[in-house]
Structure 1
Amino acid sequence: MKKNQLEIACFNYESALIAQANGADRIELCENMKLGGTTPNSILVVKVRESIEIKMHVIIRPRGGDFVYSDEELTEMKQDIKQYKKLGVDGFVFGILNEDGSVNKKKNQELVNLAHPLSCTFHRAFDVVKNVEQSLEDVINCGFKTILTSGQQINVEEGIFNLEKIQKLANYRIEIMPGGGLRSSNIKLLQDKLEPTFYHSSAITDNTETANPEEIKEIRNFL
Protein backbone atom coordinates (compact mmCIF):
# COMPACT_ATOMS: atom_id res chain seq x y z
CA MET A 1 0.00 0.00 0.00
CA LYS A 2 1.19 3.52 -0.82
CA LYS A 3 2.48 5.53 2.12
CA ASN A 4 2.72 9.23 2.87
CA GLN A 5 6.05 10.85 2.10
CA LEU A 6 7.59 14.28 2.66
CA GLU A 7 9.24 16.74 0.30
CA ILE A 8 10.92 19.82 1.77
CA ALA A 9 11.29 22.98 -0.34
CA CYS A 10 14.86 24.16 0.29
CA PHE A 11 15.93 27.71 -0.51
CA ASN A 12 19.54 27.26 0.61
CA TYR A 13 22.24 24.69 1.30
CA GLU A 14 21.61 24.53 5.03
CA SER A 15 17.94 23.61 4.55
CA ALA A 16 18.92 20.68 2.33
CA LEU A 17 21.15 19.26 5.07
CA ILE A 18 18.44 19.83 7.69
CA ALA A 19 15.83 18.13 5.49
CA GLN A 20 17.92 15.01 5.06
CA ALA A 21 18.94 14.86 8.73
CA ASN A 22 15.35 15.05 9.95
CA GLY A 23 13.64 12.48 7.79
CA ALA A 24 12.57 14.13 4.53
CA ASP A 25 12.18 11.71 1.61
CA ARG A 26 13.05 14.34 -1.01
CA ILE A 27 13.92 17.99 -1.42
CA GLU A 28 12.85 20.55 -3.98
CA LEU A 29 15.82 22.89 -4.45
CA CYS A 30 15.14 26.51 -5.38
CA GLU A 31 16.21 30.06 -4.58
CA ASN A 32 14.39 33.35 -3.91
CA MET A 33 11.66 32.43 -1.46
CA LYS A 34 10.10 35.89 -1.76
CA LEU A 35 9.48 35.22 -5.47
CA GLY A 36 7.94 31.83 -4.72
CA GLY A 37 11.07 29.92 -5.78
CA THR A 38 13.23 30.29 -8.88
CA THR A 39 15.89 28.16 -10.60
CA PRO A 40 18.88 27.68 -8.26
CA ASN A 41 22.36 28.45 -9.53
CA SER A 42 24.55 25.57 -10.63
CA ILE A 43 27.07 26.02 -7.79
CA LEU A 44 24.31 25.43 -5.24
CA VAL A 45 22.98 22.43 -7.19
CA VAL A 46 26.42 20.80 -7.26
CA LYS A 47 27.09 21.52 -3.59
CA VAL A 48 23.75 20.08 -2.45
CA ARG A 49 23.97 17.03 -4.73
CA GLU A 50 27.39 16.20 -3.31
CA SER A 51 26.13 16.52 0.27
CA ILE A 52 22.82 14.65 0.38
CA GLU A 53 21.75 11.15 -0.57
CA ILE A 54 17.96 11.59 -0.57
CA LYS A 55 16.18 12.45 -3.82
CA MET A 56 16.57 15.97 -5.11
CA HIS A 57 14.25 17.75 -7.51
CA VAL A 58 15.20 21.15 -8.91
CA ILE A 59 12.76 23.92 -9.80
CA ILE A 60 13.12 25.31 -13.32
CA ARG A 61 11.60 28.77 -13.13
CA PRO A 62 13.60 31.63 -14.67
CA ARG A 63 11.84 34.42 -12.77
CA GLY A 64 9.04 35.23 -10.35
CA GLY A 65 5.67 36.50 -11.52
CA ASP A 66 3.38 34.73 -13.95
CA PHE A 67 3.93 31.39 -15.68
CA VAL A 68 3.70 32.59 -19.28
CA TYR A 69 7.20 32.33 -20.74
CA SER A 70 8.75 33.79 -23.86
CA ASP A 71 10.72 31.69 -26.36
CA GLU A 72 13.93 33.13 -24.88
CA GLU A 73 12.89 32.06 -21.39
CA LEU A 74 11.94 28.61 -22.68
CA THR A 75 15.43 28.28 -24.19
CA GLU A 76 16.93 29.20 -20.81
CA MET A 77 14.76 26.57 -19.08
CA LYS A 78 15.90 23.94 -21.59
CA GLN A 79 19.56 24.80 -20.99
CA ASP A 80 19.09 24.48 -17.23
CA ILE A 81 17.43 21.06 -17.59
CA LYS A 82 20.24 19.81 -19.85
CA GLN A 83 22.90 21.08 -17.47
CA TYR A 84 21.30 19.78 -14.26
CA LYS A 85 20.57 16.36 -15.71
CA LYS A 86 24.34 15.94 -15.98
CA LEU A 87 24.72 16.86 -12.30
CA GLY A 88 22.73 13.87 -11.06
CA VAL A 89 19.45 15.44 -9.95
CA ASP A 90 16.41 13.17 -9.67
CA GLY A 91 13.70 15.30 -11.22
CA PHE A 92 12.46 18.75 -12.22
CA VAL A 93 9.67 21.08 -11.16
CA PHE A 94 8.13 23.56 -13.61
CA GLY A 95 4.90 24.65 -15.27
CA ILE A 96 4.07 26.80 -18.28
CA LEU A 97 0.70 28.39 -18.97
CA ASN A 98 -0.89 30.22 -21.88
CA GLU A 99 -2.09 33.78 -21.41
CA ASP A 100 -5.68 32.56 -21.13
CA GLY A 101 -4.82 30.46 -18.05
CA SER A 102 -4.71 27.12 -19.84
CA VAL A 103 -1.77 24.70 -19.80
CA ASN A 104 0.73 25.28 -22.62
CA LYS A 105 0.92 21.68 -23.76
CA LYS A 106 3.55 22.22 -26.45
CA LYS A 107 6.14 23.95 -24.25
CA ASN A 108 5.56 21.70 -21.24
CA GLN A 109 5.84 18.61 -23.45
CA GLU A 110 9.16 19.83 -24.82
CA LEU A 111 10.58 20.18 -21.31
CA VAL A 112 9.18 16.85 -20.09
CA ASN A 113 10.71 15.12 -23.11
CA LEU A 114 14.03 16.85 -22.48
CA ALA A 115 14.00 15.81 -18.82
CA HIS A 116 13.23 12.15 -19.64
CA PRO A 117 13.75 9.69 -17.98
CA LEU A 118 13.70 11.95 -14.91
CA SER A 119 10.30 12.65 -13.36
CA CYS A 120 8.66 16.07 -13.62
CA THR A 121 6.33 17.88 -11.23
CA PHE A 122 3.91 20.53 -12.48
CA HIS A 123 4.24 23.23 -9.82
CA ARG A 124 1.83 25.74 -8.36
CA ALA A 125 1.12 27.31 -11.72
CA PHE A 126 -1.73 24.80 -11.38
CA ASP A 127 -3.26 27.04 -8.73
CA VAL A 128 -3.99 29.76 -11.28
CA VAL A 129 -5.30 27.66 -14.17
CA LYS A 130 -8.81 28.59 -15.30
CA ASN A 131 -10.24 25.11 -15.84
CA VAL A 132 -9.09 22.55 -13.27
CA GLU A 133 -10.54 19.46 -14.96
CA GLN A 134 -9.15 20.25 -18.41
CA SER A 135 -5.81 21.38 -17.00
CA LEU A 136 -5.48 18.16 -15.01
CA GLU A 137 -5.94 16.13 -18.18
CA ASP A 138 -3.47 18.32 -20.07
CA VAL A 139 -0.81 17.95 -17.37
CA ILE A 140 -1.27 14.17 -17.31
CA ASN A 141 -1.05 14.01 -21.10
CA CYS A 142 2.19 16.01 -21.05
CA GLY A 143 3.79 13.22 -19.01
CA PHE A 144 4.14 14.87 -15.60
CA LYS A 145 4.23 12.48 -12.63
CA THR A 146 3.11 14.93 -9.92
CA ILE A 147 1.12 18.15 -9.46
CA LEU A 148 2.11 20.46 -6.61
CA THR A 149 -0.97 22.44 -5.58
CA SER A 150 -2.63 24.25 -2.69
CA GLY A 151 -6.04 23.42 -4.16
CA GLN A 152 -6.26 26.76 -5.98
CA GLN A 153 -6.44 28.68 -2.70
CA ILE A 154 -3.94 30.81 -0.78
CA ASN A 155 -2.90 27.75 1.27
CA VAL A 156 -3.67 24.05 1.62
CA GLU A 157 -5.99 24.57 4.57
CA GLU A 158 -8.32 26.76 2.54
CA GLY A 159 -7.89 24.52 -0.50
CA ILE A 160 -8.55 21.25 1.31
CA PHE A 161 -11.85 20.43 -0.42
CA ASN A 162 -10.43 21.28 -3.85
CA LEU A 163 -7.42 19.07 -3.11
CA GLU A 164 -9.75 16.21 -2.29
CA LYS A 165 -11.69 16.82 -5.51
CA ILE A 166 -8.53 17.05 -7.68
CA GLN A 167 -7.12 13.86 -6.15
CA LYS A 168 -10.38 12.03 -6.93
CA LEU A 169 -10.38 13.35 -10.52
CA ALA A 170 -6.75 12.25 -10.91
CA ASN A 171 -7.76 8.71 -9.92
CA TYR A 172 -4.18 7.53 -9.33
CA ARG A 173 -3.04 8.61 -12.82
CA ILE A 174 -0.84 11.35 -11.34
CA GLU A 175 0.25 12.17 -7.80
CA ILE A 176 -1.44 15.20 -6.22
CA MET A 177 1.05 16.75 -3.78
CA PRO A 178 -0.44 19.29 -1.34
CA GLY A 179 1.82 22.29 -0.77
CA GLY A 180 1.50 25.92 0.20
CA GLY A 181 1.28 26.77 3.88
CA LEU A 182 1.55 23.10 4.86
CA ARG A 183 2.75 22.72 8.46
CA SER A 184 2.57 20.27 11.35
CA SER A 185 -0.40 22.29 12.62
CA ASN A 186 -2.63 21.44 9.64
CA ILE A 187 -1.29 18.26 8.05
CA LYS A 188 -3.70 16.08 10.07
CA LEU A 189 -6.66 17.92 8.49
CA LEU A 190 -5.34 16.99 5.05
CA GLN A 191 -4.60 13.41 5.94
CA ASP A 192 -8.18 12.94 7.08
CA LYS A 193 -9.40 13.93 3.59
CA LEU A 194 -6.73 12.62 1.22
CA GLU A 195 -5.40 9.30 0.03
CA PRO A 196 -1.72 8.70 0.94
CA THR A 197 0.55 10.99 -1.08
CA PHE A 198 3.66 13.17 -1.00
CA TYR A 199 3.34 16.27 1.19
CA HIS A 200 5.31 19.44 0.42
CA SER A 201 6.47 22.02 2.98
CA SER A 202 9.28 24.51 3.42
CA ALA A 203 9.03 23.84 7.19
CA ILE A 204 10.02 27.46 7.82
CA THR A 205 8.55 28.78 11.07
CA ASP A 206 10.32 32.15 11.46
CA ASN A 207 11.51 35.04 9.31
CA THR A 208 14.44 33.17 7.77
CA GLU A 209 14.60 31.16 4.55
CA THR A 210 15.85 28.07 6.39
CA ALA A 211 13.90 24.97 7.36
CA ASN A 212 13.24 24.34 11.04
CA PRO A 213 14.49 20.84 12.00
CA GLU A 214 11.88 20.50 14.77
CA GLU A 215 9.06 21.36 12.35
CA ILE A 216 10.26 18.70 9.87
CA LYS A 217 10.30 16.15 12.69
CA GLU A 218 6.77 17.19 13.73
CA ILE A 219 5.42 16.82 10.17
CA ARG A 220 7.25 13.53 9.84
CA ASN A 221 5.57 12.27 13.02
CA PHE A 222 2.17 12.63 11.37
CA LEU A 223 3.27 10.60 8.34
Structure 2
Amino acid sequence: MAGAVAAERAGADRVEVCADLDVGGVTPSIGTVASVLARTSRVGVQVLVRPRGGDFVHDEAEVAVMLADVAAVLALPAGVPVGLVIGSLTTDGRVDEEATARLVAAAGGAPVTFHRAFDDTADLSHSLETLVRLGVDRVLTGGGPGSAAEGTSRLASLHEQAAGRIVVLAAGGVRPGNVRTLVRDTGVGEVHGRAPATVAGRVVTSEDVARTLVEACREPFTDPLDGH
Protein backbone atom coordinates (compact mmCIF):
# COMPACT_ATOMS: atom_id res chain seq x y z
CA MET A 1 0.00 0.00 0.00
CA ALA A 2 2.73 2.42 0.99
CA GLY A 3 4.61 1.46 -2.18
CA ALA A 4 1.73 2.62 -4.38
CA VAL A 5 1.61 5.96 -2.59
CA ALA A 6 5.39 6.34 -2.92
CA ALA A 7 5.24 5.56 -6.64
CA GLU A 8 2.44 8.08 -7.13
CA ARG A 9 4.43 10.79 -5.33
CA ALA A 10 7.44 9.90 -7.47
CA GLY A 11 5.45 10.60 -10.64
CA ALA A 12 4.78 7.09 -11.92
CA ASP A 13 1.92 6.73 -14.40
CA ARG A 14 0.80 3.31 -13.14
CA VAL A 15 1.49 0.86 -10.35
CA GLU A 16 0.92 -2.89 -10.21
CA VAL A 17 -0.57 -4.19 -6.98
CA CYS A 18 0.24 -7.79 -6.08
CA ALA A 19 1.19 -10.05 -3.18
CA ASP A 20 3.98 -12.59 -2.65
CA LEU A 21 6.66 -11.32 -4.98
CA ASP A 22 8.81 -14.23 -3.83
CA VAL A 23 6.75 -16.46 -6.15
CA GLY A 24 6.48 -13.88 -8.90
CA GLY A 25 3.34 -12.25 -7.51
CA VAL A 26 -0.22 -13.42 -6.89
CA THR A 27 -3.58 -11.69 -6.50
CA PRO A 28 -3.55 -9.28 -3.54
CA SER A 29 -6.33 -9.33 -0.98
CA ILE A 30 -9.39 -7.27 -1.83
CA GLY A 31 -8.70 -5.24 1.30
CA THR A 32 -5.25 -4.36 0.00
CA VAL A 33 -6.68 -3.24 -3.33
CA ALA A 34 -9.38 -1.19 -1.61
CA SER A 35 -6.77 0.50 0.58
CA VAL A 36 -4.57 1.35 -2.41
CA LEU A 37 -7.55 2.82 -4.27
CA ALA A 38 -8.50 4.87 -1.22
CA ARG A 39 -5.00 6.25 -0.76
CA THR A 40 -4.15 7.17 -4.37
CA SER A 41 -5.52 10.10 -6.31
CA ARG A 42 -3.87 10.06 -9.74
CA VAL A 43 -1.81 6.98 -10.54
CA GLY A 44 -3.38 4.16 -12.52
CA VAL A 45 -3.77 1.02 -10.40
CA GLN A 46 -3.17 -2.31 -12.15
CA VAL A 47 -4.19 -5.35 -10.11
CA LEU A 48 -2.50 -8.69 -10.68
CA VAL A 49 -5.00 -11.53 -11.08
CA ARG A 50 -3.07 -14.76 -10.53
CA PRO A 51 -4.47 -17.39 -8.16
CA ARG A 52 -1.16 -19.05 -7.23
CA GLY A 53 2.55 -19.22 -7.90
CA GLY A 54 4.13 -21.83 -10.16
CA ASP A 55 3.20 -22.29 -13.80
CA PHE A 56 0.61 -20.35 -15.75
CA VAL A 57 -1.59 -23.27 -16.82
CA HIS A 58 -4.93 -22.71 -15.10
CA ASP A 59 -7.75 -25.20 -14.81
CA GLU A 60 -11.43 -24.28 -14.88
CA ALA A 61 -11.62 -23.82 -11.11
CA GLU A 62 -8.70 -21.38 -11.19
CA VAL A 63 -10.20 -19.46 -14.09
CA ALA A 64 -13.41 -19.17 -12.07
CA VAL A 65 -11.41 -17.74 -9.17
CA MET A 66 -9.78 -15.20 -11.48
CA LEU A 67 -13.12 -14.15 -12.91
CA ALA A 68 -14.46 -13.67 -9.39
CA ASP A 69 -11.39 -11.61 -8.46
CA VAL A 70 -11.84 -9.40 -11.53
CA ALA A 71 -15.46 -8.76 -10.57
CA ALA A 72 -14.50 -7.99 -6.97
CA VAL A 73 -11.78 -5.53 -8.00
CA LEU A 74 -14.00 -3.71 -10.47
CA ALA A 75 -16.79 -3.42 -7.89
CA LEU A 76 -14.59 -1.35 -5.58
CA PRO A 77 -15.02 2.44 -5.52
CA ALA A 78 -12.15 4.06 -7.38
CA GLY A 79 -11.17 7.60 -8.19
CA VAL A 80 -8.26 6.47 -10.36
CA PRO A 81 -8.05 4.30 -13.49
CA VAL A 82 -8.10 0.59 -12.66
CA GLY A 83 -6.76 -2.20 -14.84
CA LEU A 84 -6.15 -5.94 -14.62
CA VAL A 85 -2.97 -7.95 -15.15
CA ILE A 86 -3.54 -11.53 -16.31
CA GLY A 87 -1.74 -14.41 -17.98
CA SER A 88 -2.82 -17.97 -18.76
CA LEU A 89 -1.08 -20.52 -20.98
CA THR A 90 -1.84 -23.93 -22.45
CA THR A 91 0.24 -26.98 -21.63
CA ASP A 92 2.02 -26.70 -24.99
CA GLY A 93 3.21 -23.14 -24.41
CA ARG A 94 0.59 -21.04 -26.16
CA VAL A 95 -1.64 -18.26 -24.91
CA ASP A 96 -4.79 -19.83 -23.44
CA GLU A 97 -7.20 -18.10 -25.75
CA GLU A 98 -10.38 -19.23 -24.04
CA ALA A 99 -9.32 -18.15 -20.56
CA THR A 100 -7.88 -14.88 -21.83
CA ALA A 101 -10.99 -14.03 -23.83
CA ARG A 102 -13.18 -14.65 -20.78
CA LEU A 103 -11.01 -12.46 -18.57
CA VAL A 104 -10.89 -9.65 -21.14
CA ALA A 105 -14.69 -9.78 -21.42
CA ALA A 106 -15.01 -9.73 -17.62
CA ALA A 107 -12.81 -6.63 -17.51
CA GLY A 108 -15.61 -4.80 -19.31
CA GLY A 109 -13.37 -2.28 -21.01
CA ALA A 110 -10.91 -1.80 -18.16
CA PRO A 111 -7.38 -2.04 -19.55
CA VAL A 112 -5.88 -5.52 -19.56
CA THR A 113 -2.18 -6.34 -19.44
CA PHE A 114 -0.87 -9.84 -20.20
CA HIS A 115 2.02 -10.44 -17.80
CA ARG A 116 5.36 -12.18 -18.30
CA ALA A 117 3.72 -15.55 -18.82
CA PHE A 118 4.05 -14.24 -22.38
CA ASP A 119 7.80 -14.83 -22.19
CA ASP A 120 7.20 -18.54 -21.54
CA THR A 121 5.33 -19.03 -24.81
CA ALA A 122 6.95 -21.00 -27.60
CA ASP A 123 6.59 -18.30 -30.27
CA LEU A 124 6.59 -14.68 -29.06
CA SER A 125 5.61 -13.23 -32.43
CA HIS A 126 2.62 -15.56 -32.78
CA SER A 127 1.63 -14.95 -29.17
CA LEU A 128 1.68 -11.20 -29.74
CA GLU A 129 -0.76 -11.53 -32.63
CA THR A 130 -3.00 -13.70 -30.47
CA LEU A 131 -3.13 -11.04 -27.75
CA VAL A 132 -3.90 -8.33 -30.31
CA ARG A 133 -6.78 -10.40 -31.65
CA LEU A 134 -8.14 -11.02 -28.14
CA GLY A 135 -8.22 -7.30 -27.31
CA VAL A 136 -5.42 -7.20 -24.73
CA ASP A 137 -4.10 -3.66 -24.25
CA ARG A 138 -0.53 -4.31 -23.09
CA VAL A 139 1.96 -7.12 -22.89
CA LEU A 140 4.59 -7.18 -20.15
CA THR A 141 7.75 -8.71 -21.58
CA GLY A 142 11.51 -8.87 -21.39
CA GLY A 143 11.65 -10.16 -24.94
CA GLY A 144 11.83 -13.69 -23.52
CA PRO A 145 13.01 -15.20 -20.26
CA GLY A 146 15.61 -13.10 -18.47
CA SER A 147 16.12 -9.37 -18.27
CA ALA A 148 15.00 -6.72 -20.71
CA ALA A 149 18.65 -5.88 -21.34
CA GLU A 150 19.22 -9.47 -22.49
CA GLY A 151 16.12 -9.33 -24.68
CA THR A 152 16.73 -5.92 -26.26
CA SER A 153 16.71 -7.07 -29.88
CA ARG A 154 13.56 -9.16 -29.37
CA LEU A 155 11.85 -6.28 -27.57
CA ALA A 156 12.66 -4.02 -30.51
CA SER A 157 11.18 -6.58 -32.91
CA LEU A 158 8.03 -7.00 -30.83
CA HIS A 159 7.57 -3.24 -30.55
CA GLU A 160 7.89 -2.91 -34.32
CA GLN A 161 5.48 -5.79 -34.89
CA ALA A 162 2.94 -4.30 -32.47
CA ALA A 163 2.72 -1.17 -34.61
CA GLY A 164 0.47 0.61 -32.11
CA ARG A 165 -2.07 -2.22 -31.93
CA ILE A 166 -0.87 -3.27 -28.46
CA VAL A 167 1.61 -1.67 -26.08
CA VAL A 168 4.86 -3.54 -25.51
CA LEU A 169 5.70 -2.83 -21.87
CA ALA A 170 9.37 -3.61 -21.33
CA ALA A 171 10.14 -5.40 -18.06
CA GLY A 172 12.86 -7.33 -16.33
CA GLY A 173 15.62 -5.66 -14.38
CA VAL A 174 14.62 -2.16 -15.50
CA ARG A 175 16.46 0.31 -13.28
CA PRO A 176 17.43 4.01 -13.40
CA GLY A 177 20.89 3.14 -14.69
CA ASN A 178 19.75 1.19 -17.75
CA VAL A 179 16.31 2.47 -18.65
CA ARG A 180 17.41 5.15 -21.12
CA THR A 181 19.59 2.73 -23.05
CA LEU A 182 16.72 0.25 -23.11
CA VAL A 183 14.24 2.79 -24.44
CA ARG A 184 16.71 4.07 -27.03
CA ASP A 185 17.59 0.60 -28.30
CA THR A 186 14.06 -0.85 -28.39
CA GLY A 187 11.83 2.12 -29.19
CA VAL A 188 9.35 1.12 -26.48
CA GLY A 189 7.30 3.92 -24.98
CA GLU A 190 6.56 2.28 -21.63
CA VAL A 191 8.65 0.40 -19.07
CA HIS A 192 7.88 -1.57 -15.94
CA GLY A 193 10.36 -1.53 -13.09
CA ARG A 194 10.76 -1.94 -9.37
CA ALA A 195 12.25 0.66 -7.05
CA PRO A 196 13.48 -1.52 -4.20
CA ALA A 197 15.10 -0.51 -0.94
CA THR A 198 15.67 -2.58 2.19
CA VAL A 199 14.24 -1.08 5.37
CA ALA A 200 14.24 -2.91 8.70
CA GLY A 201 15.07 -6.17 6.98
CA ARG A 202 12.34 -6.06 4.36
CA VAL A 203 12.19 -4.82 0.79
CA VAL A 204 9.98 -1.78 0.20
CA THR A 205 9.35 0.65 -2.64
CA SER A 206 11.73 3.60 -2.45
CA GLU A 207 10.20 6.91 -3.46
CA ASP A 208 13.66 8.25 -4.27
CA VAL A 209 14.56 5.33 -6.53
CA ALA A 210 11.14 5.49 -8.20
CA ARG A 211 11.55 9.21 -8.83
CA THR A 212 15.00 8.68 -10.33
CA LEU A 213 13.55 6.02 -12.64
CA VAL A 214 10.65 8.25 -13.69
CA GLU A 215 12.94 11.21 -14.33
CA ALA A 216 15.30 9.06 -16.38
CA CYS A 217 12.38 7.94 -18.54
CA ARG A 218 11.10 11.44 -19.10
CA GLU A 219 14.37 13.22 -19.77
CA PRO A 220 14.37 14.02 -23.50
CA PHE A 221 16.91 12.33 -25.70
CA THR A 222 19.28 14.68 -27.50
CA ASP A 223 20.15 14.13 -31.13
CA PRO A 224 23.96 14.31 -31.46
CA LEU A 225 23.51 15.61 -34.99
CA ASP A 226 21.63 18.78 -34.01
CA GLY A 227 24.25 20.08 -31.60
CA HIS A 228 21.84 20.41 -28.65
Q: Give the TM-score, by structure 2 length.
A: 0.89
1:81 and 2:70 matched: yes
Bigger Cα displacement from structure 2, 15-24 vs 187-196 = 187-196
> What is the count of residue pairs matched by the alignment?
211
Q: Is the 8 A contact 1:60 1:81 kept in 2?
A: yes
Could you tell me how far 1:30 is from its partner in structure 2?
0.4
In the TM superposition, what whole-angstrom CA distance separates every residue of 1:68-111 from its partner, at most 9, and x where no partner exists?
Answer: 00111000000000111011361100111000001111110000
CA distance in 2 between partners of 1:44 and 1:218 (Å): 26
Match of 1:6 in 2: none
Match of 2:27 in 1: 39
Runs of 4 or more above 6 Å deviation: none
Match of 2:37 in 1: 49
Bigger Cα displacement from structure 2, 81-90 vs 169-178 = 81-90
Matches within 5 A, 1:166-177: 166-177=158-169
1:20 and 2:14 matched: no
Match of 2:57 in 1: 68
Matches within 5 A, 1:93-172: 93-172=85-164
CA distance in 2 between partners of 1:205 and 1:180 (Å): 17
Q: Which runs of 5+ in 1 are unaligned?
A: 1-12
Task: Return the structure number with greater relative CO, CA threshold 8 A, min gap 6.
Answer: 1
Could you tell me how far 1:177 is from its partner in structure 2?
0.3
Q: What amino acid does structure 2 have at the position aligned with 1:77?
A: M
Aligned-residue sequence identity (percent) comes to 30
Could you tell me how far 1:197 is from its partner in structure 2?
1.5
Match of 1:186 in 2: 178
Match of 1:4 in 2: none
Q: Is the 8 A contact 1:33 1:209 kept in 2?
A: no
Q: What amino acid does structure 1 have at the position aligned with 2:163?
A: N
CA distance in 1 between partners of 2:204 and 2:189 (Å): 24
CA distance in 1 between partners of 2:48 and 2:61 (Å): 18
